[in-house]
Structure 1
Amino acid sequence: MKQIKIGMIVFPGFQLLDVAGPKDAFAEVKVLSGGECQYEMLTVGTTRGSVQSSSGLTVVPDRTIFDLCPHFDTVLVPGGLGIFETFDDPALSDWLKEQFKHARRVSAICNGLFALGSAGLLNERTVTTHWMDVPRLAATFPRARIEPDHIYVKDGSIYTTAGVTAGIDLSLVMIEEDFGRKMALDVAKYLIVYLRRAGGQSQFSPLLESQAAPDSQMLAIQQYMLDHLAAEHTLASLAERAHMSPRNMTRLFTKECGLSPTAFLNNARIDAARRYLESTDLPLRHIARQCGFDGTDALRRTFQRRLKINPADYRSRFRSADSPDRTQDVVAEAR
């Protein structure tokens, strides 16, 4: 019988699903293999006694970072709001550094990778995390190379994932590495999840996040683009509205908004198209025209390139079967 030991850190305020999801996925290996293969999973607390998750449910860890632990093949750090009170704890950092010396894999789900960063394990590593935590991660650990749209990233022995349910994606990756594709596929079928989820985090996160300050001249430029998505904007035409040179307008816009006018416009068009797909039954050709795309083929190519999913699949995933057709409200909401 092949057995692999996994240590799962738990800290006050951890995300319960980040632990429960992988534990259930790993546990199915024993069931589906008839006991021939299995994972031995131990929870390791950052404090002594019971540990309360962010949802209020409490677990009693099998060990703590202050106790003698067995050799772990794989270490997993969950995410959760409590990580920001815990990640720079010297005792946890020392424990992770020691585990890194011997473990085959050290992994983190969601913002659990902040603990890996505090232990110095993210330097010059390519990583991902929940899209909401990307700016904070970049500011806190500037030596980490961040792939913000990935569901999971493997860089050597360091594995990182996007938020919450991505812990199950990561578990399936590990099961495939350990026991083969068929076993991973069988577990995925049992859990009724995809073995490989289509698309990246962008399909779940809003792209239109950069807004200029209320008193900025660039806010007027942003609003103009949002009000006229179907127009053929150029840097020259936008600069003329701002009474600036294209170069100066681009420099100022990028400084205040964190991205170029062209990138903002592209994001705005994708975001508006997403809202149409989520909230209406309009045909793709109409959505493409309303959002400034040069036909349905351009809309499909953009979605595939940026969101790693085509518009039809996006609509089937994110449009509720009983949601009302809100065609008249979409343009206003997209702004």
Structure 2
Amino acid sequence: MTTARTVLFVLYDGLQSLDLTGPLEVFHAAGRIAAADGAPGAYRLVTASLGGVPVTTGSGLRLTPDQDLARSEAPHTLVVPGGDGTRDPDPALVAALRALAPDAQRVASVCTGAFLLAEAGLLTGRRATTHWGYAGTLAARFPGIEVDPEPIFVRDGPVATSAGVTAGLDLALALVEEDLGGEVALRTAQALVMFLRRPGGQAQFSAQLTVQLAERQPLREVQQWISEHPEADLSVETLAGRAALSPRQFARAFAAETGRTPGRYVDDVRLETARRRLEESADSVESIARGCGYGTPEAMRRAFLRTLAVPPGEYRRRFRPGSAPRSAPDDPQKETVR
């Protein structure tokens, strides 16, 4: 592009300051890195509120916008942060978003900013996410939206929604990568000490945090054993034996007390363990696959693509400090699927 991409950040009373400043700093850092590479003016960052008046964030921070939202031209990217101000939004704010969005190339929300997009009709018929604590409310209030509470961000056409606070940084990095390429996005993450560049499909919580701790001690011990031995035989029959229950009794009790079937829990723990080892160790993909119970690198690859939408080699390149090569020598094949 020969002209800067305008990124317009919407300001209103009660916004969450980190929902604003996090993505803004990502775009700013990416622009500086692109300029250092001889491509100045990658982004033009603008803030706007109704009437161009100062706003107060939920934490009391006073912000002075650059311009009047109602008089703003449609930007390349429209970013709507979340915050307490989304609970009972000003109709004029919703109308301004509704007017600007159709001519913007991209619209993005952070956390409960999804409620403002929903009020403006921008999420109707689309898949979206928000902070897990508000996903049920969003789905109930706007039944025309397919609300998915698990991913950290969701892209549906030109509209992107993200989960709480830090997920806005992940979404901003994904948009930077789309604009300026993977190398600039990676260097931006490193510059901001964003150790993890998480793909949108990554869950908002780890496997252990998304389930309840079983009430009965034998089942709690099975949960712990699964986490400590992902490479073991974790069939229902084997786990039931450890809990001194029949397979049918075990499966029913485990699901009732944890909210997750044994098979799903095992899958989640194995994936999470493999992710952590890719991030923290220099072990080969084949070694990690065996150590996490996948058996073969291809089986682990399929699990990563199914859940995270990136293969293990690409995941390691994105997330491990120091960054491994784009195609590690031990990968079963060059992993180009994104």
TM score, norm. by length of structure 1? 0.66
Q: Which residue of 2 aligns with 1:13?
A: 16
Matches of 2:238 and 2:115, distance apart in 1: 43
8 Å CA contact 2:33, 2:188 repeated in 1: no
Of residues 229-238 and 207-216 in structure 1, the stretch that sits farther from structure 2 once superposed is 207-216
**Alignment of 1:107 onto 2:107:** yes
Matches of 1:20 and 1:109, distance apart in 2: 16
Q: Which residue among 54, 60, 74 is the counterpart of 1:50?
A: 54
Matches of 1:227 and 1:168, distance apart in 2: 33
Matches of 2:317 and 2:175, distance apart in 1: 24
Matches of 2:285 and 2:5, distance apart in 1: 49
Instruction: Kindly provide the amino acid, as one letter, of the partner of residue 100 in structure 1.
Output: R
Matches of 1:3 and 1:315, distance apart in 2: 32
TM superposition shift of 1:300:
3.4
Matches of 1:250 and 1:301, distance apart in 2: 25
CA distance 1:107–1:240, shift in 2 (3 Å): same
Q: Which residue of 2 aligns with 1:330?
A: none
* 1:58-86 superposed Cα distances (whole Å, 9 cap, x missing partner): 64113456xx524536672343xxx3311
8 Å CA contact 1:88, 1:118 repeated in 2: no
Q: Which residue of 1 aligns with 2:132?
A: 134
> What are the equivalent positions in structure 2 for 1:320-335 lying under 5 Å apart?
320-321=321-322
Instruction: Kindly provide the amino acid, as one letter, of the partner of residue 226 in structure 2.
Output: M
CA distance 1:214–1:207, shift in 2 (3 Å): closer
Of residues 232-241 and 93-102 in structure 1, the stretch that sits farther from structure 2 once superposed is 93-102
Q: Which residue of 2 aligns with 1:307?
A: 308
8 Å CA contact 1:199, 1:307 repeated in 2: yes
8 Å CA contact 1:72, 1:99 repeated in 2: no
Matches of 1:201 and 1:281, distance apart in 2: 24
CA distance 1:192–1:29, shift in 2 (3 Å): closer
8 Å CA contact 1:198, 1:308 repeated in 2: no
CA distance 1:290–1:54, shift in 2 (3 Å): farther
Aligned length: 298
Residue segments in structure 2 that go unaligned for 5+ positions in a row: 190-196, 324-338
Q: Which residue of 2 aligns with 1:153?
A: 155
TM superposition shift of 1:88:
1.6
Of residues 261-270 and 226-235 in structure 1, the stretch that sits farther from structure 2 once superposed is 226-235
Instruction: Kindly provide the amino acid, as one letter, of the partner of residue 136 in structure 1.
Output: Y
Q: Secondary structure at the match of 1:141?
A: helix
TM superposition shift of 1:125:
1.9
CA distance 1:198–1:60, shift in 2 (3 Å): closer
> What are the equivalent positions in structure 2 for 1:87-98 lying under 5 Å apart?
87-91=86-90, 93-98=91-96
Q: Which residue of 2 aligns with 1:72?
A: 74
> What are the equivalent positions in structure 2 for 1:1-335 lying under 5 Å apart?
7-11=8-12, 12-15=15-18, 16-22=21-27, 42-45=46-49, 49-51=53-55, 59-63=63-67, 68-70=70-72, 72=74, 76-79=78-81, 83-91=82-90, 93-101=91-99, 103-105=102-104, 107-111=107-111, 112-119=113-120, 121-129=122-130, 133-142=131-140, 143=143, 144-146=145-147, 148-149=150-151, 151-155=153-157, 158-161=159-162, 162-170=167-175, 199-202=199-202, 206-213=206-213, 215-216=215-216, 218-321=219-322
RMSD: 4.5
Residue segments in structure 1 that go unaligned for 5+ positions in a row: 176-183, 323-335
Instruction: Kindly provide the amino acid, as one letter, of the partner of residue 289 in structure 2.
Output: A
Matches of 2:186 and 2:308, distance apart in 1: 25
Instruction: Kindly provide the amino acid, as one letter, of the partner of residue 159 in structure 1.
Output: A
Instruction: Kindly provide the amino acid, as one letter, of the partner of residue 66 in structure 2.
Output: D
Matches of 2:4 and 2:283, distance apart in 1: 53
Matches of 1:239 and 1:190, distance apart in 2: 46
Instruction: Kindly provide the amino acid, as one letter, of the partner of residue 132 in structure 2.
Output: V
Q: Secondary structure at the match of 2:209?
A: coil
